Structure 1
Amino acid sequence: MTDNPSNTAQQASPSYRLPALDTDFLLSDPMRAVRFQLEFAKADLALRAWGVRSTVVVFGSARVREDGSPDHARWYTEARRFGTLASQRGGALCDGGEVRDNVIATGGGPGIMEAANRGASEAGAPSIGFNITLPHEQEPNAWSTPDLTFRFHYFAMRKMHLAMRAKALVVFPGGFGTLDELFEILTLRQTDKSPPIPVVMVDEAHWRSVIDFEMLLAKGLIGKSDLKLFCMADTAEEAWRCLLDCGLELHPSPTRAPTP
C-alpha cells in the first residue's frame, strides 16, 4: 500500500497564501492600484471616525526650529499660535462626538508642521499629520493626534487627502515641498478644479521676495484675477482674519461655540 504524499510543498507555495496576507503579492507592480486605494481608504475611515468634516491645512518648512534663527523662531511661534487660534475658533473642539470642522492638518513632520500641530494640541483639539515615506525616513512629530497620524507612500494620495477636506490653506515660508503644495492649490483654484478656498501666505516680505507676482502679471503669464486667489499676512491673528474675510465658514458645535 502506497503512503499518501505530503502536501507540504503546496502549503508552502506563495500561490497558496491568502492574498490579503501575501506581502510579496501586495507589494508587486500589478497591485499598485490596490495599494493606492488602500492608502485612500485607511485615512478616510479614520477621519470619518473622528468626525472630521473639514480642515485648515498648514504648510511650511520642515527645517524651521523654535530655537533657530530669528526668522525661524518667529515663523515657528506664529504657526504655533495659529494652530491654537484656529482650533479654538474654527470648530475643531467639540464634545460628545459631533462633527469637527477646520481641524488643523499638516504634513506631519517637524518645523512649521510640528508648530501647527502643537498649537492645536495646546488648545485641546485634535489635529492631523499626513506623513510621507522618504529616503531619509520622516518621523511624525509628537503633537499630531495619534489616531490621526498617517503615513503615505504615494505623494499623489497624500496630496489628495490634504486637499479634499481643506476649507483653507495657510502657507508659511518653506522650500521646494512648500512651493509645490502652494502652487498645486493655486493651480486647482485657478482652473476651478477645486471649490473656492482662502489661501493665506504668512510673512508678506518673505513671499514677495521669493515670488514676483507682479512680474508674472506684467509679462502676461497670469491674469489680474489670479492675484485674488491668495492674500498675505504677518501674524497668526492676521492670517485668521484673512481667512474669515475671504469666506472661511465656521460651524459652531452645539456644545462649544467658537468666537471669531
Structure 2
Amino acid sequence: MTEIAFENKDFLWGNEAGPVRILSEYLHPKSELLKKGITDTVVVFGSARIPSPEELKTTKHTNLASLHTYYEEAREFSRLVTDWGKRFHEEFPGRSLHICTGGGPGIMEAGNRGAMDANGKSIALNIALPHEQSPNPYASLDLSFEFHYFFMRKLWFMKYCRGMIAFPGGFGTFDELFETLTLVQTGKKSRIPIILYGSSFWKKVLHLEALADWGLVSPEDLDLFQMVDSPEEAIQAMQQKIRLELTKKLGTKS
C-alpha cells in the first residue's frame, strides 16, 4: 500500500471512515461560511417539483402546474430578503443576512434565483440523491455545498437560521418544517419566525388544532408559526420577528 490514508478513496468511502466523512461535512461548510462572514440566514423550504415559468409548458401533472405561482412568489420573497440583507449590518453591526435553500430545483431554485435578482449571494445546501435533486444554477458557487448525509445538511440549515419559510411541498418540506417546530418548541433553537406561505394549501393539508384538542401539543404551540399569502406580508413578518429576536439576543436598542 503506497497511498497516504487521506488520499485513499477506497478507505475514505469504506465503513471504517464514516466518522471522517461526517466530520468533513461539518468542518468544510463551517470553514467556508466563516471565511465568507455568514452570520444569519433565512431558510427557504418548498417542493423541488413546483415548476419554474420555463418548465410550466412541459409539466404534465395538472395539480402540480396549478402551484406554479408559488415559484414566482418565493423568488420575490427572496429578492426582498436579499435587499434587506444588504442593509442588515446597519441595524446589527458585524452581522450579515443571506437566503439559504436546499440547492435543488423548484422552490429551492426560486429562492436562490430571487437572491440573484437582487444582485446578492445565497447559500445552497444540496443533497446527493439518485433522482430529483440536482444543483440549480442560481446559487452562489462559493456558498454551495454538496452533502451525503441528511442529518449534517439539517444541522447547517439550522446553524445560522434566523427565520424559515415553508412554501407548499411534500415529505421533505414537512420533515424540515416539523423538525424546526420541534427544535423551537423544546428550546433547542431560539424563537425564530416560522412562516407557512400559502394559507389555502396549508389549511388543507394541516389540521394541527386537532393535536391541541387531544392535548398532544399545548395551545400556545400553535403560535410558533403563522400563515401568509404574499411576499410583502412574509417579509414584514420576518423582519419584525428577526429584529425582535436579535435585539434581545445582542442587547441592542430596538
TM range (shorter): 0.7 to 0.9
Structure 1 residue identity aligned to 2:168: P
- Give the Cα–Cα distance (whole angstroms) in 2 for the partners of residues 35 and 133 of structure 1: 14
1:59–1:113 CA contact under 8 A, matched in 2? yes
Which structure has the larger Rg over C-alpha atoms? 1
Verify: 1:233 aligned to 2:221, yes or no.
no
Assess, with a 3 A threshold, how the Cα gap between structure 1 residues 249 and 36 changes in structure 2: closer, same or farther. Answer: farther
Verify: 1:136 aligned to 2:122, yes or no.
no
> Match of 2:68, SS?
helix
- Report 1:76-155 matches (<5 A): 76-91=71-86, 101-136=96-131, 138-155=133-150
> Match of 1:151, SS?
strand
**Matching residue of 1:19:** 5
Structure 2 residue identity aligned to 1:209: K
Structure 1 residue identity aligned to 2:194: V
**Matching residue of 1:52:** 38
RMSD: 1.9
Assess, with a 3 A threshold, how the Cα gap between structure 1 residues 99 and 150 changes in structure 2: closer, same or farther. Answer: farther
What 5-or-longer segments of structure 1 have no aligned partner?
1-12, 252-260
**Matching residue of 2:175:** 180
> Match of 1:193, SS?
coil
- Report 1:212-223 matches (<5 A): 212-223=207-218
1:52–1:100 CA contact under 8 A, matched in 2? yes
- Give the Cα–Cα distance (whole angstroms) in 2 for the partners of residues 70 and 34 of structure 1: 43
Hey, which of these two has a bigger chunk of helix by percent? Answer: 2
- Give the Cα–Cα distance (whole angstroms) in 2 for the partners of residues 41 and 216 of structure 1: 39
Assess, with a 3 A threshold, how the Cα gap between structure 1 residues 108 and 229 changes in structure 2: closer, same or farther. Answer: same
Verify: 1:32 aligned to 2:29, yes or no.
no
Q: State percent identity of aligned pairs.
A: 41
In the TM superposition, what is the alpha-carbon distance from 1:246 to its structure 2 partner?
2.6
How many residue pairs were aligned?
Answer: 234
Q: Which moved more, 1:129-138 or 1:82-91?
A: 129-138
> Match of 1:72, SS?
coil
- Give the Cα–Cα distance (whole angstroms) in 2 for the partners of residues 27 and 218 of structure 1: 49
- Give the Cα–Cα distance (whole angstroms) in 1 for the partners of residues 245 and 219 of structure 2: 29
Q: TM-score, normalised by structure 1?
A: 0.85
- Give the Cα–Cα distance (whole angstroms) in 2 for the partners of residues 81 and 146 of structure 1: 21
In the TM superposition, what is the alpha-carbon distance from 1:101 to its structure 2 partner?
2.1
What 5-or-longer segments of structure 2 have no aligned partner?
57-63, 247-254
For each residue in 1:45-92, what CA deviation from the matched residue of structure 2 results, as whole angstroms up to 9, or x when unmatched?
Answer: 111111111100000000001233664221001100011000001347
Q: TM-score, normalised by structure 2?
A: 0.87
2:128–2:146 CA contact under 8 A, matched in 1? yes
Assess, with a 3 A threshold, how the Cα gap between structure 1 residues 89 and 249 changes in structure 2: closer, same or farther. Answer: farther
Structure 1 residue identity aligned to 2:34: R
In the TM superposition, what is the alpha-carbon distance from 1:44 to its structure 2 partner?
1.3
Q: Which runs of 4+ in 1 moved over 6 A?
A: none
- Give the Cα–Cα distance (whole angstroms) in 2 for the partners of residues 221 and 57 of structure 1: 27
2:41–2:100 CA contact under 8 A, matched in 1? yes
2:100–2:124 CA contact under 8 A, matched in 1? yes
